Structure 1
Amino acid sequence: MKRIIISGCNGKMGKKISSCIRERNDCTVVAGIDKNPESFDGFPVFAAPAECPVQADVLIDFSHPSALASLLAYCVDKKLPAVIATTGLSNEQIEQIKECSKQVPLFFSFNMSLGVNLLAQLAKKAAAVLGDQFDIEIIEKHHNQKIDAPSGTALMLADAVSSVLKEEPQYVYDRHAVRKKRSKNEIGIHAVRGGTIVGEHEILFAGHDEMLTLSHTAMSKEIFATGSINAAIFLCGKSAGLYDMGDIV
């Protein structure tokens, strides 16, 4: 039975993770960390990582980018593996994760869905075959409360595609500001925000007289919760290093 600490336990994703863990028999929540330290689900909740004295096997973070530094320091001090699933991290924060992974096992992915990560692998295959002859556009859609745009997942998909292209492409986010024809060496990335859309990602390969579309639609947040829990179980017992969904897929 793996013991899990949830960072951001009183947020929407934190509550969903807690709910999913209650239905499993291979893990349990032993503590939470949240700026609102009320306990709703029967385990103790602490306002900051440094205040948590509870022993655990792994931590799942679905909180806020501002909490990353203190969480990483806590995990390094406790030698505690962690799944970093918070979105909206800066490039500097991602570098911090990479640096800390030299001391403790860390799992980091822009998207915790197994399906999305499989989509990235399929997109790489398609780009390797079609990339020189097809224009590539990525469209992502999320609910109207999402702050960052484009989504980290859209950037992850763009990075996956660009990794197999012969020339490094330019990411174009605002075609309205570019009054010229589309160049071959670019990937257009478009963000839509509206309603309660959980998450949709589409990769469009547009060629001469034909199009290929790869897409993924999230119907609920539960897929991200399940993915983070599976990642946490996977991470237990691993040596220091940086892991991602590619290691599971």
Structure 2
Amino acid sequence: MSTARIRIGLHGAMGRMGLRLVQLMAADPRVELVAAVDRSRLGEDAGVAAGVGPLGVSVQTLEALDLNAARPDAFIDFSHPSATSEITAYCRRGRIPVVVGTTGLEADQGEQLSAAAAEIPVLTSPNMSRAVNVLMKLVGQAAAAMGVEADVEIIERHHRLKKDAPSGTALRLAEIVEAATGAGPLVHGREGQVGERPRGEIGMHAVRAGDCPGEHTVMFAVGGDTLELSHRALNRDGFVRGAIDAAVFLAGKPPGSYTMAHVLESAR
């Protein structure tokens, strides 16, 4: 079995998620950081910026990156929706697998990722945490068992700096419920004289406060019973470790669209 480490490029290296990725990759024997891309702290050693000591990888723009010198086996994108198209196109030109953890993407960006998947491996997920992806599986099973008769409410809570609402994870949970039951429409909060709750409606509620990394609860309620399935992130490490797992999984795969479900299946 090969012991060569997977060479990882990181897009959005100086953000909150990016810095934690640098820290955990430095401690992971499976991977090696070979490119740190951002538009801030240019020229700094990514390891020094993340507090883990020199890694010999300077922060640079995507335009300045020497692809032949870096030779990444996969890129991880935790940047901003406006920058995801840029890294997608870059990886497509370089035939580099890409893991996209950035949320809040527009429909046309999803189409770009789908088009790129015809030529390179692309793994996208609104949430890279293994535990959250187990939650998604359980929500699908619960929705199928409870049926459209159950009232479904989804409550998500994130830190005050999060730009998009509701979260990509919450929207994905709603999609899972809809697919299992045919429920809908999706209602974002309620105000005023809204009347009796109609059958099949899915309620969505976004809370923004403090520094909460992320919490999601899906409630199924019928007469006399309530079932709640929840995940609470204590810090960002679950998301980061999942992204590293995804990059390790994706390196060397054939072109196509992949999800964290494929990563979970590969670990069996």
TM-score range, shorter chain: over 0.9
Asked if 1:12 is matched to 2:26, the reply is no
Name the SS for the 2:202 alignment partner. Answer: strand
- Compared CA separation, residues 71 and 177, structure 1 to 2 (3 A): farther
Asked if 1:50 is matched to 2:63, the reply is yes
Alignment-derived partner of residue 221 in structure 2: 206
- Compared CA separation, residues 117 and 177, structure 1 to 2 (3 A): farther
Deviations 1:53-104 (A, max 9, x none): 1211000000111111211111011100010011111122112111111110
Deviations 1:106-147 (A, max 9, x none): 110000001111101100100001022210000000111111
**AA in 1 matched with 2:161:** Q
Farther off after superposition, 54-63 or 172-181: 172-181
CA distance in 2, matches of 1:51, 1:81: 19
| Alignment match of 1:104 (pick from 110, 120, 124) | 120
CA distance in 1, matches of 2:201, 2:156: 17
Contact 2:149 2:200 in 1 (8 A): no
Farther off after superposition, 176-185 or 86-95: 176-185
Contact 1:50 1:74 in 2 (8 A): no
Contact 1:204 1:213 in 2 (8 A): yes
Q: Give the gaps of 5 or more residues in structure 2.
A: 48-54
CA distance in 1, matches of 2:161, 2:86: 25
Alignment-derived partner of residue 217 in structure 1: 232
Contact 2:6 2:31 in 1 (8 A): yes
Q: How big is the shift at 1:243?
A: 0.4
CA distance in 1, matches of 2:134, 2:173: 10
Deviations 1:36-59 (A, max 9, x none): 123232312222x23211211000
CA distance in 1, matches of 2:148, 2:102: 34
Q: 1:58-69 to 2 correspondence within 5 Å?
A: 58-69=74-85
Q: 1:71-220 to 2 correspondence within 5 Å?
A: 71-165=87-181, 167-176=182-191, 179-220=194-235
Contact 1:2 1:26 in 2 (8 A): yes
**AA in 1 matched with 2:206:** A
CA distance in 1, matches of 2:171, 2:18: 24
Deviations 1:15-45 (A, max 9, x none): 1001001111111101111011232323122
Name the SS for the 2:243 alignment partner. Answer: helix
**AA in 2 matched with 1:62:** F
Name the SS for the 1:94 alignment partner. Answer: helix
Farther off after superposition, 183-192 or 170-179: 170-179
Alignment-derived partner of residue 243 in structure 1: 258
Q: How big is the shift at 1:180?
A: 1.8
Q: How high is the TM-score relative to the length of structure 2?
A: 0.89
Alignment-derived partner of residue 3 in structure 1: 7
CA distance in 2, matches of 1:178, 1:200: 29
Between the two proteins, the alignment pairs up a number of residues equal to 247
**What is the root-mean-square deviation of aligned Cα atoms in Å?**
1.2
Q: How high is the TM-score relative to the length of structure 1?
A: 0.96
CA distance in 2, matches of 1:135, 1:79: 46
Asked if 1:228 is matched to 2:243, the reply is yes
Deviations 1:163-186 (A, max 9, x none): 111x34110003116622111121
- Compared CA separation, residues 25 and 33, structure 1 to 2 (3 A): same
